[in-house]
């Protein structure tokens, strides 16, 4: 029996996507065979000694500096987004019991051992829902190709964290998700489905991402089924001159711009 392998991360979204994908493919000729679960590096330990030193020096002003206020604002916006996703998705499910799991650090995604593991499963289709860029060795394994869920209406805003740049640039018309085939470039493969988001001014990138993920839980499994059943129409992407965004582009200055855009939008009269 052949089927689908899902690549996702150890997150609530990853758990929900695995559960939805397994349910959508159950009973068919190509079930969900396995989930490759990626884990990132551990979070850095809190710098308690720095905090203690600041308190001892009575530098309370330092603790409420612009950087500290910005960090708190970012934390608050992320909590708002987490709550939105939890309300929409419901309780986090366990990984599907009948589906094999393969846990690896995300920096091992293109290692030789990962490609060997995938070849041993011989999937028809590889479905990506949160992953670094995949190398040619992985992309060559599934006979029917690899799909990805991208958080923008392609071909605009290729690369990572598209919602951040849509808010930064005031370009909300491009908000939504695209399910597309993966090729050797960045987010440039044939499009299968677009799902617009229609955010309001003042919606944060983190809130938009949570809503994109909720939309993906509905449309991604449906699109995978359509591909497996031969019902999906492929639309080549037109060439664009816009660059692909990287994590490294999200600088403190860019983040301050996004927070300023949100503050102005939320202060504007309705």
**Which is nearest to 101 in space by CA: 32, 167, 161?**
32
Multiple choice CATH, 4-40+60-267, 3.40.50.12230, 3.40.50.2300, 3.40.50.620, 3.20.190.10? 3.40.50.12230
The pLDDT, as a whole number, for residue 184 is: 86
Query: Domain map of the chain by residue range?
Result: 4-40+60-267
Give the pLDDT score at 44.
45
pLDDT at 86 over 50: yes
pLDDT digits (tens, 9 = 90+) for 25-67: 998 999 999 999 999 764 444 444 555 455 455 555 555 566 7
CA nearest neighbour of 98 among 15, 27, 22: 22
User: What is the rounded distance in angstroms from the CA atom of residue 32 to the CA atom of residue 27?
Assistant: 10
Least confident of 131-145, 151-165, 238-252: 238-252
72-82: average pLDDT = 94
């Amino acid at each position: 029996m052949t089927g689908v392998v899902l690549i996702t991360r150890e997150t609530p979204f990853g758990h929900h996507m695995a559960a939805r994908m397994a349910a959508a493919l159950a009973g068919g000729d190509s079930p969900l065979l396995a989930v490759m679960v990626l884990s990132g590096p551990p979070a850095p330990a809190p710098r308690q000694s720095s905090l203690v030193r600041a308190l001892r020096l009575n530098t309370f002003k330092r603790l409420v500096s612009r950087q500290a206020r910005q960090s708190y604002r970012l934390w608050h916006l992320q909590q708002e987004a987490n709550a939105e996703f939890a309300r929409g998705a419901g309780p986090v499910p366990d990984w599907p019991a009948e589906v094999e799991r393969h846990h690896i650090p995300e920096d091992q995604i293109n290692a030789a051992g990962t490609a060997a593991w995938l070849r041993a499963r011989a999937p028809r289709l590889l479905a990506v829902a949160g992953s670094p860029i995949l190398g040619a060795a992985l992309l060559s394994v599934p006979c029917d190709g690899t799909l990805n869920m991208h958080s923008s209406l392609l071909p605009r805003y290729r690369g990572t964290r598209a919602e951040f740049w849509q808010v930064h640039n005031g370009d909300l018309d491009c908000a939504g998700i695209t399910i597309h085939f993966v090729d050797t470039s960045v987010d440039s493969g044939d499009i299968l489905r677009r799902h617009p988001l229609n955010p309001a001014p003042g919606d944060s990138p983190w809130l938009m991402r949570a809503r994109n993920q909720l939309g993906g839980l509905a449309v991604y499994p449906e699109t995978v089924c359509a591909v497996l059943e031969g019902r999906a129409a492929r639309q080549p992407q037109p060439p664009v001159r816009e660059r692909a965004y990287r994590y490294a582009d999200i600088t403190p200055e860019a983040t301050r711009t996004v927070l300023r855009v949100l503050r102005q939008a939320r202060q504007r009269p309705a």
